């Protein structure tokens, strides 16, 4: 709902001045550094699950099965911090594990350097790291799947539960998949998932995972890859209609503050 905390005449002045300036505003590429989300750095046992934008879960290795959120945590004797499900845990899987200490952690013939995050499928489940977009905009998404053990895994990056952005099979210690990198325009609440599947056998399938997601810039509001007057027109149309997407500061309302956030990004040619 548009609550118009700036007056209509003020809005008209802002809009007309912006539109008048369009002729001298170059089309810019997007430099997205407004927000950075890094999976390993954010990993925690004490922030709950979901942990902000991150959800640690697992699901049957069949299409469209629902995600189960890991309910349990433990710190293993070797120092690894683990999310798991005590109700289903054959040989400690499926699970997420991270070394949140400042020293290497050793276990099962593997080494977790400080800050390393890994996940592991079960005999019948994929392990899934889900990221939920906190704001509308273009995001830079990167991922690397690290071969930490001798098994073979299928790894993938999936948008919205069905759009496969990346898929690969990796096999053996030191055999990584990726890096994957892409720019993806997402609405608030859209998801990107990072998935490990057992590729037949779940033995020795520990797979390291590095994910960095940055951006979320609203400047390219019409999603055409450039920042220009078209974005102003599209933004104001959405704003006037009180559309959900115009809530670019993600505070739940569409008002003058969103105009400020949009123009701050737009005038910078990005974020
Ligand atoms: Ca396997
Ligand atoms: Ca644009
Ligand atoms: Ca808002």
Task: List the domain boundaries for the chain.
Answer: 8-30+224-267, 36-217
Q: Are the CB atoms for 110 and 174 separated by under 8 Å?
A: no
Taking residues 111-138, what's their average pLDDT? 95
CA of 152 to the centre of ligand 1 (A): 4
Ligand nearest to the CA of residue 218, numbered in listed order: 2
pLDDT in tens, 159-172: 998 999 999 999 99
Omega cis (within 30) before 232: no
Report the alpha-carbon distance of residue 70 to residue 95 in Å, rounded. 8
The ligand whose atoms approach the alpha carbon of 231 most closely is 2
State how far the Cα of 24 lies from the Cα of 225, in Å rounded to an integer.
Answer: 19
242 C-alpha vs ligand 2 centroid, how far in Å? 20
Using alpha carbons only, give the angle 221, 226, 230 rounded to the nearest 5 degrees: 55
CA distance 108 to 204: 9
Q: In this model, does residue 27 exceed pLDDT 90?
A: no
Closest ligand (CA of 259): 3
Q: What is the pLDDT of residue 138?
A: 87
- Read off the pLDDT of each residue in 194-198 and give the average, rounded to a whole number: 98
The maximal CA–CA distance of the chain, rounded, in angstroms, is 69
pLDDT number for residue 31: 38
pTM: 0.80
Ligand nearest to the Cα of 257, by number: 3
Instruction: Using the mean position of ligand 3's atoms as its centre, give its distance from the Cα of residue 257 in Å.
Output: 6
The whole-number average pLDDT for the span 107-123 is 97
Please give the share of the chain, as a percent, with pLDDT higher than 90: 72
Higher-pLDDT residue of 214 and 21 is 214
Which ligand is the nearest neighbour of the Cα of 248? Answer: 3
Fold classification of 36-217 (topology level): Jelly Rolls (2.60.120)
- 128 Cα–ligand 2 center, Å: 32
Q: What's the mean pLDDT in 137-147?
A: 95
177: nearest Cα among 208, 131, 220: 208
The 10s digit of each residue's pLDDT in 248-264 is 887 888 999 999 999 99
Distance from Cα 66 to the centre of ligand 1, integer Å:
22
């Amino acid at each position: 709902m548009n609550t118009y905390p700036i007056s209509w005449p003020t809005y008209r002045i802002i809009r007309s001045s912006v539109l008048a300036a369009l002729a001298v505003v170059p089309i810019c590429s997007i430099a997205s550094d407004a927000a950075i989300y890094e999976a390993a750095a954010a990993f925690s046992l004490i922030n709950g699950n979901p942990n902000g934008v991150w959800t640690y879960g697992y699901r049957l290795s069949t299409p469209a099965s629902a995600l189960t959120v890991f309910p349990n945590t433990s710190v293993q004797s070797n120092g690894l911090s683990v999310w798991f499900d005590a109700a289903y845990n054959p040989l400690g899987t499926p699970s997420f594990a991270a070394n949140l200490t400042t020293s290497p952690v050793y276990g099962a013939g593997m080494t977790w350097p400080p800050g390393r995050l890994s996940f592991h499928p079960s005999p019948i489940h994929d392990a899934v790291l889900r990221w939920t977009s906190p704001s509308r905009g273009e995001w830079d998404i990167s991922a690397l799947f690290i071969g930490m053990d001798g098994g073979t895994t299928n790894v993938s990056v999936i948008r919205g539960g069905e759009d496969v952005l990346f898929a690969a099979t990796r096999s053996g210690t030191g055999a990584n998949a990726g890096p994957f990198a892409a720019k993806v325009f997402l609405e608030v609440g859209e998801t990107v998932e990072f998935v490990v599947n057992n590729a037949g056998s779940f033995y020795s399938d520990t797979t390291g995972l590095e994910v960095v997601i940055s951006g979320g810039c609203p400047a390219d509001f019409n999603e055409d890859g450039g920042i220009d007057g078209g974005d102003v027109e599209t933004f104001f149309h959405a704003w006037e209609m009180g559309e959900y997407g115009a809530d670019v500061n993600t505070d739940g309302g569409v008002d003058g503050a969103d105009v400020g956030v949009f123009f701050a990004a737009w005038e910078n040619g990005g974020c």
